[in-house]
Amino acid sequence: MENFIDFLGTQLSAEVIGLYALHWGGRILSALVIFLLGRWVVKMLMNLFASAYTKAEMDKTLSRFLSNILFIALMLFVVLASLNALGVNTINFLAILGAAGLAIGLALKDSLSNFAAGVMLVVFRPFKIGDFIDAAGNSGTVERIGIFNTTLKTPDNRVIIVPNSLINEDSIANYSTEETRRIDLVIGIGYEDDVARAKALIQGVLNQEDSILDEPPPSILLLDLGDSSVDIGVRPWVKSTDYWSVRSELLGRIKQALEHAGMSLPYPQRSLHIIEKESKNNS
């Protein structure tokens, strides 16, 4: 034992200890500088990303979640760089992280699919909060664009929660993107009625509606000769916000104008003929 202590005393001279201290002190100092400088850079980047989220009017829940993910990823990179400067072999650590990430991804593939779809919806912005849309077989006003799903409120005040992946995979009809929208009405009159007079009456109704836009001008055209009626197409343009109110108002006024002029508004009818056959008595 004494010989071992004497051996250590000869090996651990002041010069050797100084070299070790200088070597590891430099590594520790380098790792500390990289960590502190990296953390400062990460904070600066997070502030820039926060400003970008605000300008893009991103959903707060999604922006907070993305910020947390980004912060963890950047800080992990800083820690690995610091450990590497300290002399720690980080290759095995990265391999373990990769395997763990793969396992987590396979276990949460459906949730990750919804999350990725939510990011796509926020980035490409096919709709925003307050828009009325048709998506994934559902119609309603967008109440919230979440991380994993989108919340819609229907006109009858039902709340529908739709997974983002279903919305992203299906076609989306946004009725609120454009400022103007065309109303398409089909008005049927009888075959015995005067089509030109009916058009004039409908034009008079359109002229009395202040919400109808002058450009593009409304059109009134003969659409079809149906089984029970002569169909006239009425296509005025209005502001998107006035669509439903003007549509309802026009239907009532056109019906009243045509009926007041003595024109019929036919509806499909079916005549049933019963043929009775006399039974013959066989004697």
pLDDT value, residue 283: 47
CATH numbers and ranges of domains, the chain: 13-107 (1.10.287.1260), 126-174 (2.30.30.60), 180-260 (3.30.70.100)
pLDDT digits (tens, 9 = 90+) for 230-266: 999 999 999 988 998 999 999 999 999 999 999 988 8
Query: Residue 212 in contact with residue 237, Cβ under 8 Å?
Result: yes
Q: CA 106 to CA 79: how far, in whole Å?
A: 26
pTM, two decimal places? 0.59
Mean pLDDT, consecutive 10-residue segments, the chain of 283 residues? 53 55 67 85 85 70 70 82 74 66 59 79 84 91 86 93 90 90 94 93 94 93 90 95 92 94 80 64 51
Q: What is the pLDDT of residue 81?
A: 81
